[in-house]
A and B are shown apart, each in its own frame.
Chain A
Amino acid sequence: MSTARTCLRVDGEPVALTVDARVTLLDALRDRLGGTGPKKGCDHGQCGACTVHVDGRPALSCLTLLAAADGTDVTTVHSLAADPCGARLQKAFVTHDASQCGFCTPGQLMSAVAALSRADLDAPASIREFMSGNICRCGAYPNIVAAIRSVRNSRDGQDGRDA
C-alpha cells in the first residue's frame, strides 16, 4: 500500500496523518478524525453534501485527495457554532425550516457562509445560483434561500445601526 504523509489544520487544530494515498479529505475527516459533519452523498462531486472550506473557500472534500490538501487550512461545519455569522446562520436554518432530512445541511451551511461573504449576492436568484452546487433532495431550497437572506438582512441592519 502506497501511503502519503499530510500535514494540515482542521477546524484550527494541526493534524498530521500518514495514510493510504487514496484517502480523500472527506474520508479522512469522517473516519480518521471523527468529525462526521461533512457528509458523503454522491461521493463524485455532484451533490455538495461534503462541502468544507479549504483555505477559506468552499471545496468538495470528496474530490480532494487528503495528500493534495497538504499545508491547507480546512474548516468544517463543526466550527460554525463558534463563529458569530455561522451561529446566526445555523439558527436561521432552524427558524426557516431550511432542512427536512438534514443530510445536505452541513454542506448547505458551508456554502451559505460563503454566500454571506459576497456583497453582490442579495437577490434570491443570485443566491440560488451561488447555492446550486448543493443539492437538497427534500426540496428545502426556498427555505434555505430565506434563511440566508434573513441573516444578510439582519446583519446589514445591524451594520447600519453600528454605523
Chain B
Amino acid sequence: MREFTFARAATVEDALDAPRGAVFLAGGTTVVDLMKLDVLRPRVVVDINALPLREITVDGTGLTVASGVRMGDLATHAEVVRAFPLVVEALLAGASQQIRNMASIGGNLLQRTRCGYFRDVCSACNRRAPGSGCAAIDGANRTHAVLGTSPSCVATHPSDLAVALTALDATVRVTGHGGEREVPLREFYRVPGDTPRIENVLGAGELIIAVHVPHPPAEARTTYVKVRDRASYEFALSSAAVVIEARDNVIAGARIAVGGVATVPWRLPAVEAALIGLPATPGGFGDVVARAADGASALTQNGYKIPLLEHTVLRAIEEVFAR
C-alpha cells in the first residue's frame, strides 16, 4: 500500500473540503482492498464514518437511506423489510454478513468491478490505466459483460443492490461545492465507451449523501433472482430484479433490471413493454424474454450468458406470479 495522509471528517462540509485526489473511506471493503492491490493510490484518505449519514426513513414518499447506512442495517430494518422486500433480497444476496456489517450504501453503489485484470496492476486495463488496452477481450472473460460493452472495456458492475434500485427507479442525492442535486440511478452510471475510467456522473469531490426509493405501486409484486457459481458469498453471473404490477389479472406495468451481464445496472425496456397486457399468470413468457438480450454481444468465453440472462429473467417473472 502506498503512503497516504489520513484525515477524519466530522461534517459533510469537512468532507467536501478534502483535497483533489482524496478518496472517501466508509466501510473500506472496496477502498482498502484496492489500496492493498495498488489499484487505488490516494494521497489522502478521508474517513467519513463520523458524518451524520446513518438515517433510514420510510414515509409516504418512499424510502430514504443516508449513504453511510450499513448494508446489514438496511436489510434488517423492520419497515424496509415490510415495504421494500426487493431491496432486502438484493442486499442479502450480496457479500457476507461480515461485509454487510461494514459496507455502506453509498460505497455499495460505487464499488468497483471485480474484473481480474482491473484488480491486477500488471495487466492491461483501460478502466484502471487509460490507453493500456483491455486484457479481458482476448483473455479470461467468462464472467464479463455481454451488454453495454465497448472495445475499451467489458467489465461488469458488481452490485446487486444497484440492480434492485434501478428497477425501483431510485434516485441518488449528491452534494458538492456546487450544492445538492438528485440523479436518477438510471442516469448515474456511465457505460464504458471510450472512457471506461469514468464510471458515473459524480464530479470531483462530490459525495453521495442519500438514496431515495419511491414506493412501488400498491399492486406491484417484486423479486430478485441471482445466479452464481456458488450458493452464497459470490458475485452474480446473471441477476434480475423484477417489479410487476397486475390489475384484473393483466400485467399493467413492469420494470426489470439485470446485473452480472452488463457494464452498468441494465434496464430491459423492450421486455417491460412486451409484458404489458399479458395475463398475470405463470407460463407463456418465452417469447417476451427472448428480447432480454437485445443488443448483447458475446466474447470468447461468455456466450452462455445470453441464454442465462434470458432464463434468469424468465425465472424472475415466473417467481413473481408464483408468490
CB within 8 Å of B: which residues of A? 1-2, 4, 20-22, 24, 43-45, 48, 51, 54, 57-60, 63-65, 67-68, 70, 111, 114, 128-130, 132-134
Contacts and interface: CB of A to CB of B under 8 A. Distances in A.
B28 A64 contact: yes
B98 A51 contact: yes
9 contacts: A2-B4, A21-B45, A43-B36, A44-B37, A48-B98, A59-B101, A60-B99, A63-B102, A133-B99
> Interface SS of chain A: helix, strand, loop or mixed?
mixed
A70 B8 CA distance: 10
Interface of B: 1, 3-6, 8, 25, 27-29, 32-33, 35-37, 45, 47, 49, 72, 95-99, 101-102, 231-233
Given A21-B6, A22-B3, A44-B33, A68 B97 contact: no
Given A4-B6, A132-B96, 5 more contacts: A21-B4, A21-B6, A44-B36, A111-B98, A133-B95
B96 A68 contact: no
A133 B102 contact: no
B232 A129 contact: yes
B25 A133 contact: no
A63 B36 CA distance: 9
Contact of B28 (A4, A65, A70): A65
Given A51-B98, A57-B72, A59-B102, A128 B232 contact: yes
A60 B6 contact: no
B3 A58 contact: no
A130 to B, nearest CB: 6
A111 B97 contact: yes
B32 A65 contact: yes
A40 B259 CA distance: 32
Contacts of A24: 32
A106 to B, nearest CB: 13
Contacts of B33: 44-45, 63
A134 B25 CA distance: 24
A22 B102 contact: no
B30 to A, nearest CB: 9
A48 B154 CA distance: 30
A2 B101 CA distance: 28
B1 A132 contact: no
Given A2-B3, A21-B4, A63-B33, A58 B98 contact: yes
| 10 pairs of A and B residues whose beta carbons are closest in the complex | A133-B96, A132-B232, A21-B6, A132-B233, A4-B6, A57-B101, A58-B98, A63-B32, A22-B1, A2-B5
Contacts of A133: 95-99, 233
Nearest to A24: B32
Nearest to A107: B98
Contact of A64 (B32, B36, B96): B32
Nearest to B95: A133
A44 B1 CA distance: 13
